[in-house]
Structures are given as C-alpha cells and as structure tokens.
Amino acid sequence: MLQLRPNCEWCDRDLAPDSVDAYICSYECTFCRDCVQTVLRNVCPNCGGGFEKRPVRPARAHRPGVSLQDQPASTAVVQSRFNAEQIADFVAGLEAIEPQRR
Ligand SMILES: [Zn+2]
Ligand SMILES: [Zn+2]
C-alpha cells in the first residue's frame, strides 16, 4: 500500500494526505511540487527515477474498509540524506534523459 508521507523530503513542507502538491517516485520518495520542478527537475535524488502526482486517498470509505480512516497516512517524517551540491550533481547527470529511458 502506498505510504502517504507527511512532508517534503527536501524543504520539509507539510504535505497533508489530501495535498495536490505532493509528488512521489516509484519508491514513494515524497517531495512538493516546487522542489520537483525547481530543485530536482523531475529526478528523484534517491533513485534517479521521475515523479508523478501522488494520488489522494478517499477520506471516507466508499467501499468497506478502504479509506484514509481505515489506512491512515504515515506520520514518519523523512529528510534527505543528501546536501544541495550532491543533489545538483546527481540531477545534472540525469535530467536530460526522460524518466522512462533512465
Ligand atoms: Zn519541497
Ligand atoms: Zn526515488
């Protein structure tokens, strides 16, 4: 099940479960739209993959047992283990390649 993480891994902005500004890579590394567009340039600093908009889990159950109430968002804050220079170097090497060709 998708982990709905509570913050941007780079700028630490809150990303509520219903945020439309949350982006994830295939490993659920989670960043805000601003960081994805300006700092990361659609390159996940952890895996090199691209990002997609994080889906919003329904707040209320429309089928029994499946909703944000039944499977709540994660509260574990994740922060990047890389610094700005390391990320810039990594991004520079990959941003010109489309995610599906990396
Ligand atoms: Zn951010
Ligand atoms: Zn990633």
Q: Which ligand is nearest to the CA of 29?
A: 2
Examine residue 6 and state whether it is found in any structural domain, yes or no: no
Examine residue 77 and state whether it is found in any structural domain, yes or no: yes
> What residues pair up with 32 in beta bridges, in sequence order?
22
Cα 43 to averaged position of ligand 2 atoms, centre (Å): 8
The pLDDT value recorded for residue 12 is 98
Examine residue 73 and state whether it is found in any structural domain, yes or no: yes
Q: Which ligand is nearest to the CA of 79?
A: 1
The pLDDT value recorded for residue 65 is 97
Examine residue 3 and state whether it is found in any structural domain, yes or no: no
Max Cα-Cα span within the chain: 47
Q: Which ligand is nearest to the CA of 32?
A: 1
End-to-end CA distance of the chain: 25
In whole angstroms, what is the distance from residue 18 CA to residue 88 CA? 29
Query: Mean of the pLDDT values across residues 16-41?
Result: 98
Examine residue 38 and state whether it is found in any structural domain, yes or no: yes
**Token pair for 59:** 């707040």
Residue with tokens 């960043």: 31
| Residue 95's pLDDT band (cuts 50, 70, 90) | very high
Examine residue 9 and state whether it is found in any structural domain, yes or no: no
Q: Domain span at residue 83?
A: 22-101
Number of folded domains in the chain? Answer: 1
State how beta strands 22-24 and 30-32 pair. antiparallel
Examine residue 12 and state whether it is found in any structural domain, yes or no: no
Q: Which value, to the nearest 10 degrees, does the dihedral of the CA atoms of residues 88, 21, 57, 95 take?
A: -30
pTM above 0.85, yes or no: yes
Examine residue 4 and state whether it is found in any structural domain, yes or no: no
